[in-house]
Amino acid sequence: MQQHLKALLSTIFRTSMVGYCLLVLQGCSSKAEKEKTVTPLVSTVTVDTTSVTTELEFSGMLEGISNIEIRPQAEGYLEKIFVDEGAYVRKGQPLFLINDTPYSEKLNQSTASLQTALANREKARIEATRIQKLVDGKVVSDVQLKNAQAELSAANSAVRQAEAAKKSAAISKGFTLIKAPVNGYVGKLPYRVGSLVGHNEPEPLSVVSDINTMYAYFSMSEEAFLQFKQQYPGKTIEEKIKRIPSVRLMLPDNSVYDEQGKVDIVQGQFDKSTGSITFRASFPNSGGLLRSGNTGKIIMSQYNKNVIQIPQSATYELQNKVMAYVVEKNNKLKSVSLKIGQKTALNYIISEGLKPGDILVSKGLERLHEGIQVKVSK
Protein backbone atom coordinates (compact mmCIF):
# COMPACT_ATOMS: atom_id res chain seq x y z
CA MET A 1 0.00 0.00 0.00
CA GLN A 2 2.78 2.38 0.92
CA GLN A 3 4.69 1.53 -2.25
CA HIS A 4 1.61 2.22 -4.32
CA LEU A 5 1.21 5.62 -2.62
CA LYS A 6 4.86 6.54 -3.25
CA ALA A 7 4.56 5.66 -6.92
CA LEU A 8 1.43 7.78 -7.20
CA LEU A 9 3.09 10.78 -5.54
CA SER A 10 6.17 10.43 -7.76
CA THR A 11 4.01 10.40 -10.86
CA ILE A 12 2.14 13.51 -9.71
CA PHE A 13 5.45 15.34 -9.01
CA ARG A 14 6.92 14.53 -12.40
CA THR A 15 3.74 15.60 -14.13
CA SER A 16 3.74 18.90 -12.23
CA MET A 17 7.39 19.62 -13.12
CA VAL A 18 6.78 18.94 -16.79
CA GLY A 19 3.80 21.26 -16.76
CA TYR A 20 5.78 23.97 -14.98
CA CYS A 21 8.60 23.75 -17.50
CA LEU A 22 6.15 23.96 -20.36
CA LEU A 23 4.62 27.07 -18.84
CA VAL A 24 8.05 28.69 -18.38
CA LEU A 25 9.07 27.89 -21.95
CA GLN A 26 5.80 29.23 -23.26
CA GLY A 27 6.25 32.46 -21.29
CA CYS A 28 9.79 32.97 -22.56
CA SER A 29 8.72 32.30 -26.11
CA SER A 30 5.87 34.79 -25.82
CA LYS A 31 8.19 37.42 -24.35
CA ALA A 32 10.78 36.95 -27.10
CA GLU A 33 8.10 37.05 -29.75
CA LYS A 34 6.72 40.22 -28.21
CA GLU A 35 10.16 41.88 -28.17
CA LYS A 36 10.78 40.79 -31.72
CA THR A 37 7.64 42.42 -33.01
CA VAL A 38 8.08 45.84 -31.28
CA THR A 39 8.05 48.59 -33.99
CA PRO A 40 10.50 51.47 -33.32
CA LEU A 41 8.98 54.92 -33.02
CA VAL A 42 11.04 57.48 -34.98
CA SER A 43 11.01 61.25 -35.37
CA THR A 44 10.97 62.49 -38.95
CA VAL A 45 11.05 65.63 -41.03
CA THR A 46 9.69 66.14 -44.52
CA VAL A 47 12.38 67.20 -46.96
CA ASP A 48 11.72 70.52 -48.68
CA THR A 49 13.67 73.27 -50.42
CA THR A 50 14.62 76.52 -48.75
CA SER A 51 16.86 79.54 -49.22
CA VAL A 52 19.80 79.95 -46.89
CA THR A 53 22.96 82.03 -46.59
CA THR A 54 26.08 80.02 -45.90
CA GLU A 55 29.72 80.89 -45.29
CA LEU A 56 32.45 79.48 -47.48
CA GLU A 57 36.03 79.32 -46.19
CA PHE A 58 39.11 79.45 -48.40
CA SER A 59 42.71 79.22 -47.23
CA GLY A 60 44.66 82.32 -48.21
CA MET A 61 48.13 83.84 -48.25
CA LEU A 62 48.68 87.52 -47.43
CA GLU A 63 50.99 89.91 -49.25
CA GLY A 64 51.53 93.63 -48.98
CA ILE A 65 50.22 95.83 -51.76
CA SER A 66 53.84 96.07 -52.88
CA ASN A 67 56.95 94.13 -51.89
CA ILE A 68 59.82 96.03 -53.43
CA GLU A 69 63.29 94.52 -53.62
CA ILE A 70 65.99 97.02 -52.76
CA ARG A 71 68.85 96.43 -55.19
CA PRO A 72 71.85 98.74 -55.64
CA GLN A 73 72.30 100.63 -58.91
CA ALA A 74 75.87 101.43 -57.92
CA GLU A 75 78.70 99.04 -57.14
CA GLY A 76 80.94 99.40 -54.12
CA TYR A 77 81.44 98.67 -50.46
CA LEU A 78 78.48 99.06 -48.12
CA GLU A 79 79.45 101.94 -45.86
CA LYS A 80 76.35 102.51 -43.73
CA ILE A 81 73.06 100.78 -42.90
CA PHE A 82 70.58 103.30 -41.52
CA VAL A 83 67.75 100.93 -40.56
CA ASP A 84 67.17 97.63 -38.81
CA GLU A 85 65.14 94.60 -39.82
CA GLY A 86 61.42 95.10 -39.24
CA ALA A 87 61.69 98.89 -38.99
CA TYR A 88 58.94 101.04 -40.45
CA VAL A 89 60.27 103.54 -42.98
CA ARG A 90 58.73 106.33 -44.99
CA LYS A 91 59.19 107.00 -48.67
CA GLY A 92 62.50 108.81 -49.27
CA GLN A 93 64.05 107.77 -45.96
CA PRO A 94 67.75 106.70 -46.29
CA LEU A 95 68.33 102.96 -46.02
CA PHE A 96 71.91 102.26 -47.16
CA LEU A 97 75.03 104.17 -48.19
CA ILE A 98 77.61 102.72 -50.58
CA ASN A 99 81.09 104.24 -50.46
CA ASP A 100 80.88 107.11 -52.93
CA THR A 101 84.57 108.04 -53.28
CA PRO A 102 84.97 106.74 -56.86
CA TYR A 103 81.72 108.39 -57.88
CA SER A 104 82.68 111.70 -56.26
CA GLU A 105 85.95 111.67 -58.19
CA LYS A 106 84.13 111.02 -61.43
CA LEU A 107 81.74 113.85 -60.66
CA ASN A 108 84.66 116.19 -59.96
CA GLN A 109 86.28 115.22 -63.25
CA SER A 110 83.09 115.78 -65.19
CA THR A 111 82.64 119.14 -63.47
CA ALA A 112 86.12 120.18 -64.52
CA SER A 113 85.51 118.99 -68.06
CA LEU A 114 82.34 121.05 -68.19
CA GLN A 115 84.19 124.16 -67.03
CA THR A 116 86.79 123.60 -69.75
CA ALA A 117 84.08 123.17 -72.36
CA LEU A 118 82.35 126.35 -71.21
CA ALA A 119 85.63 128.27 -71.45
CA ASN A 120 86.31 126.94 -74.93
CA ARG A 121 82.80 127.88 -76.01
CA GLU A 122 83.24 131.41 -74.72
CA LYS A 123 86.55 131.65 -76.56
CA ALA A 124 84.91 130.42 -79.76
CA ARG A 125 82.02 132.87 -79.32
CA ILE A 126 84.42 135.81 -78.94
CA GLU A 127 86.38 134.72 -81.99
CA ALA A 128 83.22 134.34 -84.07
CA THR A 129 82.07 137.82 -83.01
CA ARG A 130 85.44 139.32 -83.97
CA ILE A 131 85.44 137.66 -87.38
CA GLN A 132 81.86 138.81 -87.98
CA LYS A 133 82.92 142.44 -87.53
CA LEU A 134 85.84 141.97 -89.90
CA VAL A 135 83.56 140.43 -92.50
CA ASP A 136 81.09 143.29 -92.07
CA GLY A 137 83.99 145.69 -92.76
CA LYS A 138 85.05 143.54 -95.69
CA VAL A 139 88.44 143.04 -94.13
CA VAL A 140 88.32 139.22 -94.28
CA SER A 141 86.41 136.74 -96.39
CA ASP A 142 83.29 134.79 -95.49
CA VAL A 143 85.33 131.60 -95.34
CA GLN A 144 87.00 132.67 -92.12
CA LEU A 145 83.60 133.51 -90.62
CA LYS A 146 82.24 130.10 -91.52
CA ASN A 147 85.24 128.45 -89.86
CA ALA A 148 84.73 130.51 -86.71
CA GLN A 149 81.02 129.67 -86.61
CA ALA A 150 81.85 125.95 -87.01
CA GLU A 151 84.27 126.21 -84.10
CA LEU A 152 81.52 127.82 -82.00
CA SER A 153 79.05 125.07 -82.94
CA ALA A 154 81.59 122.42 -81.97
CA ALA A 155 82.18 124.21 -78.68
CA ASN A 156 78.43 124.24 -77.98
CA SER A 157 78.28 120.48 -78.63
CA ALA A 158 81.23 119.94 -76.30
CA VAL A 159 79.42 121.88 -73.58
CA ARG A 160 76.27 119.78 -73.99
CA GLN A 161 78.34 116.62 -73.88
CA ALA A 162 80.14 117.77 -70.74
CA GLU A 163 76.84 118.73 -69.11
CA ALA A 164 75.43 115.26 -69.85
CA ALA A 165 78.57 113.62 -68.45
CA LYS A 166 78.30 115.67 -65.27
CA LYS A 167 74.61 114.85 -64.92
CA SER A 168 75.34 111.14 -65.39
CA ALA A 169 78.12 111.29 -62.80
CA ALA A 170 75.81 113.08 -60.36
CA ILE A 171 73.12 110.44 -60.88
CA SER A 172 75.63 107.63 -60.34
CA LYS A 173 76.83 109.30 -57.15
CA GLY A 174 73.21 109.68 -56.07
CA PHE A 175 72.73 105.92 -56.45
CA THR A 176 75.18 105.38 -53.59
CA LEU A 177 72.55 106.70 -51.15
CA ILE A 178 69.68 104.21 -51.32
CA LYS A 179 66.30 105.47 -50.10
CA ALA A 180 62.97 103.81 -49.35
CA PRO A 181 60.79 103.79 -52.50
CA VAL A 182 57.54 103.51 -50.50
CA ASN A 183 56.23 103.60 -46.96
CA GLY A 184 56.57 100.17 -45.44
CA TYR A 185 58.45 97.69 -43.30
CA VAL A 186 62.04 96.62 -43.86
CA GLY A 187 62.62 92.92 -44.37
CA LYS A 188 65.71 90.80 -43.87
CA LEU A 189 69.15 92.48 -44.09
CA PRO A 190 71.47 89.83 -45.56
CA TYR A 191 74.48 92.17 -45.99
CA ARG A 192 76.61 93.92 -43.40
CA VAL A 193 78.75 97.06 -43.42
CA GLY A 194 81.85 96.37 -45.53
CA SER A 195 80.14 93.95 -47.92
CA LEU A 196 80.85 94.46 -51.60
CA VAL A 197 77.53 94.91 -53.35
CA GLY A 198 76.51 95.51 -56.94
CA HIS A 199 74.11 94.80 -59.76
CA ASN A 200 74.61 91.04 -59.92
CA GLU A 201 74.15 90.01 -56.29
CA PRO A 202 71.72 87.06 -55.88
CA GLU A 203 69.93 88.65 -52.92
CA PRO A 204 68.61 92.18 -52.67
CA LEU A 205 69.87 94.47 -49.93
CA SER A 206 66.40 94.11 -48.40
CA VAL A 207 62.69 94.20 -49.23
CA VAL A 208 60.38 97.03 -48.25
CA SER A 209 56.76 95.96 -47.94
CA ASP A 210 53.96 98.47 -48.27
CA ILE A 211 51.31 96.87 -46.05
CA ASN A 212 48.89 99.76 -45.68
CA THR A 213 46.65 97.60 -47.86
CA MET A 214 47.00 93.81 -47.82
CA TYR A 215 46.19 91.39 -50.60
CA ALA A 216 44.78 88.00 -49.64
CA TYR A 217 45.17 85.42 -52.39
CA PHE A 218 42.91 82.36 -52.22
CA SER A 219 41.97 79.53 -54.57
CA MET A 220 38.51 78.36 -55.56
CA SER A 221 37.74 74.93 -56.99
CA GLU A 222 36.12 74.58 -60.38
CA GLU A 223 32.83 73.51 -58.76
CA ALA A 224 32.83 76.48 -56.38
CA PHE A 225 33.72 78.80 -59.26
CA LEU A 226 30.73 77.56 -61.26
CA GLN A 227 28.47 78.20 -58.25
CA PHE A 228 29.96 81.69 -57.96
CA LYS A 229 29.22 82.46 -61.62
CA GLN A 230 25.65 81.19 -61.27
CA GLN A 231 24.96 83.11 -58.09
CA TYR A 232 25.93 86.66 -59.08
CA PRO A 233 24.38 88.52 -62.04
CA GLY A 234 26.49 90.10 -64.73
CA LYS A 235 27.66 89.36 -68.25
CA THR A 236 31.36 89.36 -67.37
CA ILE A 237 33.42 88.10 -64.44
CA GLU A 238 34.30 91.71 -63.61
CA GLU A 239 30.60 92.58 -63.28
CA LYS A 240 30.00 89.54 -61.08
CA ILE A 241 32.97 90.38 -58.82
CA LYS A 242 31.53 93.84 -58.16
CA ARG A 243 28.42 92.17 -56.70
CA ILE A 244 30.29 89.97 -54.24
CA PRO A 245 29.58 91.22 -50.70
CA SER A 246 32.41 92.12 -48.35
CA VAL A 247 34.51 89.21 -47.14
CA ARG A 248 36.11 88.58 -43.76
CA LEU A 249 39.49 87.24 -42.73
CA MET A 250 39.94 84.57 -40.05
CA LEU A 251 43.41 84.68 -38.51
CA PRO A 252 45.42 81.58 -37.47
CA ASP A 253 44.17 81.91 -33.86
CA ASN A 254 40.57 81.66 -35.18
CA SER A 255 39.86 85.30 -34.39
CA VAL A 256 38.25 87.40 -37.12
CA TYR A 257 40.13 90.46 -38.38
CA ASP A 258 38.38 93.74 -37.56
CA GLU A 259 38.36 95.16 -41.10
CA GLN A 260 36.31 93.70 -43.93
CA GLY A 261 37.79 93.11 -47.36
CA LYS A 262 36.64 93.26 -50.95
CA VAL A 263 37.26 90.75 -53.72
CA ASP A 264 38.67 92.80 -56.58
CA ILE A 265 40.34 90.48 -59.07
CA VAL A 266 40.43 86.91 -60.36
CA GLN A 267 43.08 85.23 -62.48
CA GLY A 268 42.28 84.57 -66.11
CA GLN A 269 42.65 80.79 -66.10
CA PHE A 270 42.68 77.67 -63.94
CA ASP A 271 45.86 76.14 -62.59
CA LYS A 272 46.08 72.77 -64.35
CA SER A 273 48.05 71.20 -61.50
CA THR A 274 45.51 72.08 -58.80
CA GLY A 275 42.29 72.47 -60.79
CA SER A 276 41.59 75.79 -59.07
CA ILE A 277 41.48 79.47 -59.92
CA THR A 278 42.95 82.25 -57.78
CA PHE A 279 41.01 85.21 -56.39
CA ARG A 280 42.37 88.29 -54.64
CA ALA A 281 40.74 90.26 -51.83
CA SER A 282 42.00 93.59 -50.47
CA PHE A 283 41.97 94.41 -46.75
CA PRO A 284 42.78 97.77 -45.11
CA ASN A 285 45.73 97.45 -42.71
CA SER A 286 46.29 100.90 -41.26
CA GLY A 287 47.20 99.40 -37.88
CA GLY A 288 49.90 97.18 -39.36
CA LEU A 289 48.56 94.01 -37.73
CA LEU A 290 48.83 91.99 -40.93
CA ARG A 291 52.21 91.26 -42.51
CA SER A 292 53.37 89.76 -45.78
CA GLY A 293 53.59 85.99 -45.48
CA ASN A 294 50.74 85.69 -42.97
CA THR A 295 48.10 83.06 -43.63
CA GLY A 296 44.38 83.02 -42.89
CA LYS A 297 40.98 81.95 -44.13
CA ILE A 298 38.80 84.09 -46.35
CA ILE A 299 35.15 83.89 -45.26
CA MET A 300 32.73 84.55 -48.11
CA SER A 301 28.96 84.63 -47.63
CA GLN A 302 26.92 82.82 -50.26
CA TYR A 303 23.16 82.98 -50.79
CA ASN A 304 21.73 79.59 -51.77
CA LYS A 305 18.26 79.56 -53.31
CA ASN A 306 15.94 76.53 -53.47
CA VAL A 307 18.30 74.07 -51.84
CA ILE A 308 17.74 71.09 -49.54
CA GLN A 309 19.13 71.62 -46.05
CA ILE A 310 19.06 68.95 -43.34
CA PRO A 311 20.51 68.71 -39.82
CA GLN A 312 23.85 66.94 -39.52
CA SER A 313 22.28 64.97 -36.66
CA ALA A 314 19.97 63.30 -39.22
CA THR A 315 22.93 61.61 -40.92
CA TYR A 316 25.48 58.94 -40.14
CA GLU A 317 28.73 57.82 -41.71
CA LEU A 318 29.34 54.48 -43.39
CA GLN A 319 32.60 53.68 -45.17
CA ASN A 320 33.49 57.38 -45.47
CA LYS A 321 30.09 58.18 -46.94
CA VAL A 322 27.41 60.40 -45.43
CA MET A 323 24.16 58.41 -45.17
CA ALA A 324 20.58 58.99 -44.04
CA TYR A 325 17.41 56.95 -43.49
CA VAL A 326 14.31 57.64 -45.57
CA VAL A 327 10.90 56.20 -44.60
CA GLU A 328 9.26 54.57 -47.61
CA LYS A 329 5.52 54.14 -48.20
CA ASN A 330 5.38 50.82 -46.35
CA ASN A 331 7.06 52.48 -43.36
CA LYS A 332 10.26 50.56 -43.99
CA LEU A 333 13.62 52.30 -43.79
CA LYS A 334 15.79 52.86 -46.82
CA SER A 335 19.41 53.91 -46.45
CA VAL A 336 20.48 56.60 -48.95
CA SER A 337 23.92 58.02 -49.75
CA LEU A 338 24.16 61.81 -49.72
CA LYS A 339 26.37 64.20 -51.64
CA ILE A 340 27.16 67.27 -49.56
CA GLY A 341 27.16 70.57 -51.41
CA GLN A 342 28.05 72.81 -48.47
CA LYS A 343 28.42 72.46 -44.74
CA THR A 344 27.47 74.85 -41.95
CA ALA A 345 27.99 74.51 -38.22
CA LEU A 346 24.89 72.32 -37.73
CA ASN A 347 23.48 71.55 -41.17
CA TYR A 348 24.31 70.05 -44.55
CA ILE A 349 23.18 71.41 -47.89
CA ILE A 350 22.44 68.34 -50.00
CA SER A 351 23.23 68.33 -53.71
CA GLU A 352 22.32 64.67 -54.36
CA GLY A 353 20.50 61.87 -52.54
CA LEU A 354 17.29 63.55 -51.35
CA LYS A 355 14.32 65.20 -53.04
CA PRO A 356 11.43 67.33 -51.80
CA GLY A 357 8.76 65.19 -50.13
CA ASP A 358 11.12 62.51 -48.79
CA ILE A 359 10.42 61.51 -45.16
CA LEU A 360 13.77 61.75 -43.37
CA VAL A 361 14.48 60.16 -39.98
CA SER A 362 15.82 63.02 -37.87
CA LYS A 363 16.76 61.39 -34.53
CA GLY A 364 17.83 58.12 -32.96
CA LEU A 365 19.63 56.70 -35.97
CA GLU A 366 22.00 54.56 -33.90
CA ARG A 367 19.30 51.93 -33.10
CA LEU A 368 18.03 51.62 -36.68
CA HIS A 369 19.07 49.69 -39.76
CA GLU A 370 17.91 49.44 -43.34
CA GLY A 371 14.82 47.39 -44.06
CA ILE A 372 13.14 47.47 -40.65
CA GLN A 373 9.60 48.74 -40.26
CA VAL A 374 9.12 51.84 -38.12
CA LYS A 375 6.32 53.87 -36.69
CA VAL A 376 6.45 57.56 -37.55
CA SER A 377 5.96 59.94 -34.65
CA LYS A 378 3.10 62.33 -35.27
C-alpha distances in angstroms, 262 versus 214, 215, 243, 247? Answer: 11, 10, 10, 6
Confidence of residue 9 (pLDDT cuts 50, 70, 90): very low
Report the C-alpha gap between 170 and 174 in whole angstroms: 6
Out of 88-97, 186-195, 300-309, least confident range = 300-309
Q: Which of 13-22, 117-126, 169-178, 214-223 has the lowest mean pLDDT?
A: 13-22
* pLDDT score at 49: 93
Domains of the chain with bracketed CATH: 41-52+306-376 (2.40.420.20), 56-63+210-304 (2.40.30.170), 72-99+176-203 (2.40.50.100), 101-174 (1.10.287.470)
> What is the rounded distance in angstroms from the CA atom of residue 247 to the CA atom of residue 343?
18
- pLDDT tier at 223, thresholds 50, 70, 90: confident
Is pLDDT of 128 > 60?
yes
- What are the CA-CA distances from residue 86 to residues 187, 237, 255 (Å)? 6, 38, 24
pTM, two decimals, is 0.63
